[in-house]
Structure 1
Amino acid sequence: MGKYKPRDPLKIPRFADIRTFWRLPYMKEIPTNIDFAVVGIPFDTGASYRVGARYGPEAIRSQSLILRSHNPALDISPFDYCSGVDYGDIPVVPGYIEDSYKKIEEGLLPIIDKGVIPIALGGDHSITLAELRAMTKRHGPVALVQFDSHTDTDPDYYGHKYNHGTPFIRAVEEGLLLVEHSIQVGIRGSTYSKDEIEKARKLGFEVVTAEEMYKLGIDEVAKRIQERVGDAKVFVTFDIDFVDPAYAPGTGTPEVGGPSSRETLELVRKGLKGLNFVGFDLVEVYPQYDPSFITALLAAHIIFEFISLIALNKREKQTRKSVKTSQG
């Protein structure tokens, strides 16, 4: 059983005490023998339309208090198998994206170097480039699974290389991705040019648009994710605007015509199950555009699924080891 786990809500009410993610222990020094660390990256200077994702980590943590200890859909209690902490926030530099990238890399490396999986709470989607830079320093190039309504492969923005629409063209250019094992899912909405989606495909990504996703169905899309990634080490990035704004209105660049929260959770469970994770992030939560906090609540539940999937992998590994031992 995990040494570091959430406080028991039957002993201390969920609404009490300091609000870490899922009421995990807050630690700035990464202990040994943990599996994951939740990290806030409250940076939104890369946004091109709305701003306010700097408040995303706070909102997601607050809504995570409702999470309980067992995941019935995956039939696992994560902390029976894994251990994790809330690392707090990385001190970014508001208004300065390249300086913040350096801070993000420096903040993540102590986690990654210990073999711990970081789960980042954004922040706008520009932060993912810095996360991938840190990842590759330990793991080399990684596969990318991107849930998003936008490809985020714009060549520049007003002549500048970095904003939340450019991280994945930069990641390809910098050699951070195993692009032949990478996939973008849920792409939709109006575009700046006729060939925008085709440009992402020419970079090497497999792209499943929202229209294709609905025709294929969840099971087939999940199968495509599994086949594309294979055994490669994978970083999962989830832009909350993947979800229809009827279910996630608190985001920076909302696009209608997306999946429901139920469909989203099902696809995450099926599409990511058993993959070789090295990191996750969830970005583009803007709580000020959603006074009911359903966007942050959904974000917290998606991260709950990420943690459950980490636990499933660990349980499977323990089962294989037990079978091997019993067979002599």
Structure 2
Amino acid sequence: MKFYRATAATMADANIVITGVPDESRSHALRKGTDTAPDTLRAASGESEFFVRDGKTIPTVPMMGTLEGKRMFDAGNIKREQVYEHTLGIIKAGKIPVAIGGDHSLTTDVLAAASKTLGKKLSLLYFDAHPDFVSSARNYYGSVMTDSQDHIDFGKSMTIGTRAAEPEEIENARKAGLQIVTPIDIVEMGVHRVAEMILAKTAGSKTYISIDLDCVDPASAPGVSVPSPGGLTTADLLFLLTKVMAAGNVAGFDIVELSPDYDLNNMTAYLAARILTECIASLKI
């Protein structure tokens, strides 16, 4: 099984490499099942991204950007301990890595590999209900920011959709100079203004984008590990993501924390597949 849009036969033929990481060994969530997410997302893309009529398969067209010139290779699934070296190889080959989790801790290894290969810290756009900036515990999905601090330029980074932070996370973000944008901020300022803020914040930097599906309101994305009411709308999320992708300088991105056992009629899986397609279509390559 592979992502429906992945048509490159080999990694050498591709400019975008998609890899699944079916692992939740560093999750503390009570709701389990993200280890089945990569193949669930792939299956959703094969159910929702085309129509069949008169014996012909007709792919749907992305809302923004284009898939022309986007040569995608689905590298299949790898083990958690392979993420760092695998990502190093992709970036050294001049291709854009896309990781599908699994739990959010995989972002730590992707950031480390990207920072090492590029020789500098990265801007990070972290779409998540939680800032994952716990420092009283380490090496799990809630300490991504702390574990990745040597690879992140916090002054040029943001968390977006944050609404369920622990007190120490707010304090750690304040000390690091990490800007937090809540869903209420987006309502108050408007999504266009927030997009301008994001582009200004990351200007001139290589940017990595991490998308925890719990950034979306659980009314639209119930199939996540740690749902939190009051999240982003799907349209606002897609608008912000496509604007960032189109601006260029994207080092890679990931989609994590899909929990299929808690999904409703596959709506979160279909959303994840749509996010993946729209992000790739809007990527400036």
Query: Is TM-score (shorter-chain normalized) higher than 0.5?
Result: yes
Task: Give the alignment of 1:127-206 within 5 angstroms.
Answer: 127-140=106-119, 141-157=121-137, 161-172=138-149, 175-189=150-164, 191-193=165-167, 196-206=169-179
Task: Give the alignment of 1:89-104 within 5 angstroms.
Answer: 89-92=77-80, 100=81, 103-104=82-83
- Residue by residue over 1:190-213, the C-alpha shift from the partner in whole angstroms, topping out at 9 and shown as x without a partner, is x433x5324213212111122212
- In the other structure, the counterpart of 1:268 is 241
- Report the residue type matching 1:130 in the other structure: D
Larger Rg: 1
Give the superposition deviation at 1:281. 0.2
Give the superposition deviation at 1:70. 5.6
RMSD of aligned residue pairs (Cα, Å): 1.8
Query: Structure 2: 5+ residue runs without aligned partners?
Result: 51-58
Give the superposition deviation at 1:267. 2.3
CA distance in 2, matches of 1:30, 1:271: 25
Query: Structure 1: 5+ residue runs without aligned partners?
Result: 1-18, 93-99, 315-328
Give the superposition deviation at 1:142. 1.2
- Residue by residue over 1:245-266, the C-alpha shift from the partner in whole angstroms, topping out at 9 and shown as x without a partner, is 1111111110000122222212
CA distance in 1, matches of 2:193, 2:248: 16
The reply to whether residue 208 of structure 1 matches residue 181 of structure 2 is yes
The reply to whether residue 47 of structure 1 matches residue 21 of structure 2 is no
Q: 2:76 aligns with which of 88, 98, 108?
A: 88
CA distance in 2, matches of 1:292, 1:24: 24
Q: 2:225 aligns with which of 234, 245, 252?
A: 252
CA distance in 1, matches of 2:62, 2:144: 35
Identity %: 31
Contact 1:42–1:55 (8 Å) recurs in 2? yes
Contact 2:22–2:37 (8 Å) recurs in 1? yes
Give the superposition deviation at 1:109. 1.9
CA distance in 1, matches of 2:206, 2:35: 29
- In the other structure, the counterpart of 1:326 is none
Contact 1:156–1:162 (8 Å) recurs in 2? no
- Residue by residue over 1:86-130, the C-alpha shift from the partner in whole angstroms, topping out at 9 and shown as x without a partner, is 0111123xxxxxxx2xx2112222211101101110011111001
- Residue by residue over 1:15-36, the C-alpha shift from the partner in whole angstroms, topping out at 9 and shown as x without a partner, is xxxx311252476x6215x210
CA distance in 1, matches of 2:178, 2:21: 26
- In the other structure, the counterpart of 1:325 is none
Find the residue that maps to 1:44 and give its secondary structure: coil
